[in-house]
Chain A
Amino acid sequence: MDSQLFLDTLLQRSPPHILEHARLVLVPLGLAVLVAFPIGVILTRPQYRRYAGRVMAVLNAGQTVPPLAVIAVFLPFLGLGFRPAVIALTIYALLPIARNTIAGISSVSEDVKEAARGMGMTPWEVFTQVELLLGLPVIMVGIKTSAVLTVGTAVLAALVGGRGMGAVIFAGINFFRPELILAGTLIIGLMAILLERLLTLAEWFILPRHLR
């Protein structure tokens, strides 16, 4: 184990890749929330609820496709680079968010919603102030799961020219240098923890005081 190489990787070689990696995580995660959250909300509306099972079955089946394959599948159509990686990672992040959005909103009991309607809330108010707020903790768990998953999976983006921390780790594998792998992994782990904490913090700010 060459500690000099380890430190060099950690402090000099990795930093540019950290930003790339952050972009590889945040862009897909943001897109996944933008897509999966509305899907989840629509599938909990009474008139569309019956489709929830089928949509979830498709998403679940999608999850059996290995991450490596998801990353690779878009390569022939979109070529090398950032875009195929982002699309693949977005698709990979959809399931936990959609699943937990549905679970979170469905977990709000009919009695509570009924009471809210009884107090004269409009359907929109019931949705935003009751269903979403009470379902938020479960929805956030889904987003956090996707976030941690994406931080790890984004390593594979390096294979299709998406760069990121994967570049460091694959270099370690190709040159048989555990120092590179270890340093890269350490950074990725810290990124995952940091992202998870930030999302927890965000949740804390969104929730009204009495629900914290």
Chain B
Amino acid sequence: MSVLLFMINYFHRILEYTVNHFTLVLTVMILSMVLWFSVGVLISRYEMLAGAVLGLGNILFCIPSISLFGLFMTIPQLGLGRRSAVLALVLYAMMPLVRNVYRGIKSVDPRVVEAGQGMGLSSWQLLWQIQVPMAWPVIFAGIRITVVMITGIATVATFIGERNLGRLIHHGITRSNSDMILAGALIVSVVALCLDMLMGLLEKKLVSPGLRYQQRE
């Protein structure tokens, strides 16, 4: 109950944090999807790059988020705030996104690809008309994991000056205010679920009904 009261009392502050959190995650997701999708497609075509790129993603993923934020913060061109936060989070998103794009494309039945080739699709057409559409389910699994994860890690960006929901938790800890902490945790979860649903809608639009059946199999 007191959590609710807290949320009402600090409505404007919380709204600002929520909006900031939302826009940060959305910025990161849009940049990441464009960038890591391209990289995933690239390494599915140039196999010799795949090992190195996926390895790099794994290493980045193992660095604690707070370290990555902290290191970027000390680079003068990035500094405190959004630029460092965006860069760190985009790097975090690399592993799940690149991996799933790569796996998705690789998991397309080679016989289907070859059928397309036999029909006379060029290699560009094969990619966009067969490989990518058939990989969407796996790619979207990656996107949805990533969006939930990034929403969570974005809270840590409060330590480098982002005014987002992490600040509620951070200040809740320093002031030992459980309502503040709970409010922060609760709203972050709601934001994560909303973004996940948003991606779910996009998924529904992009994944062919002909493939949804296969997923259930």
Q: Do A and B bind each other?
A: yes
Indicate if A188 sits at the interface (CB-CB under 8 A): yes
Q: For residue A64, which residues in chain B have a CB less than 8 angstroms away from its CB?
A: 148, 151-152, 189, 192-193, 196
- Residues of A whose CB lies within 8 Å of any CB of B are 61, 63-70, 72-73, 75-77, 148, 151-153, 155-156, 159-160, 166, 169-170, 172-173, 176-178, 181-182, 184-185, 188-189, 192-193
Closest to A196 in B: B62
Q: Is the CB of A155 within 8 A of B67?
A: yes
User: B188: which of A66, A152, A153, A156 is its contact (CB, 8 Å)?
Assistant: A66
Docked complex: B154-211 residues within 8 A CB-CB of A: 154-156, 159-160, 166, 169-170, 172-173, 176-178, 181-182, 184-185, 188-189, 192-193, 196
Closest to A1 in B: B74
Residue tally, chain B, CB below 8 Å to A: 39
Indicate if B64 sits at the interface (CB-CB under 8 A): yes
Q: List 30 A-B contacts (CB under 8 A).
A: A64-B189, A64-B192, A65-B185, A65-B189, A66-B151, A66-B188, A66-B189, A67-B152, A67-B156, A69-B152, A69-B181, A69-B184, A72-B184, A73-B178, A73-B181, A75-B181, A77-B178, A159-B173, A169-B66, A173-B66, A173-B159, A177-B74, A178-B70, A178-B71, A181-B71, A182-B71, A185-B64, A189-B62, A192-B62, A193-B62
Q: Is the CB of B74 within 8 A of A73?
A: no
Q: Is the CB of B66 within 8 A of A155?
A: yes
Q: For residue A63, which residues in chain B have a CB less than 8 angstroms away from its CB?
A: 148
Docked complex: B140-154 residues within 8 A CB-CB of A: 148, 151-154
Q: Is the CB of B181 within 8 A of A166?
A: no
Q: For residue B152, which residues in chain A have a CB less than 8 angstroms away from its CB?
A: 64-69
Given A172-B70, A182-B71, A192-B62, do A72 and B159 touch, yes or no (CB 8 Å)? Answer: no
Q: Is the CB of B70 within 8 A of A69?
A: no
A61 to B196 CA separation, bound complex (whole angstroms):
12
Q: For residue A68, which residues in chain B have a CB less than 8 angstroms away from its CB?
A: 152, 155-156, 166, 169-170
A105 to B67 CA separation, bound complex (whole angstroms):
37
Closest to B190 in A: A64
Q: Is the CB of A185 within 8 A of B184?
A: no
Closest to A185 in B: B67
- Residues of B whose CB lies within 8 Å of any CB of A are 59, 62-67, 69-71, 73-75, 148, 151-156, 159-160, 166, 169-170, 172-173, 176-178, 181-182, 184-185, 188-189, 192-193, 196
Q: Is the CB of A176 within 8 A of B64?
A: no
Closest to B69 in A: A173
Closest to B174 in A: A159
Closest to B181 in A: A72
User: B67: which of A65, A76, A153, A188 is its contact (CB, 8 Å)?
Assistant: A188
A184 to B66 CA separation, bound complex (whole angstroms):
11
A203 to B151 CA separation, bound complex (whole angstroms):
34
Q: Is the CB of B173 within 8 A of A75?
A: yes
Q: For residue B64, which residues in chain A have a CB less than 8 angstroms away from its CB?
A: 151-153, 155, 169, 185, 188
Q: For residue A153, which residues in chain B have a CB less than 8 angstroms away from its CB?
A: 64
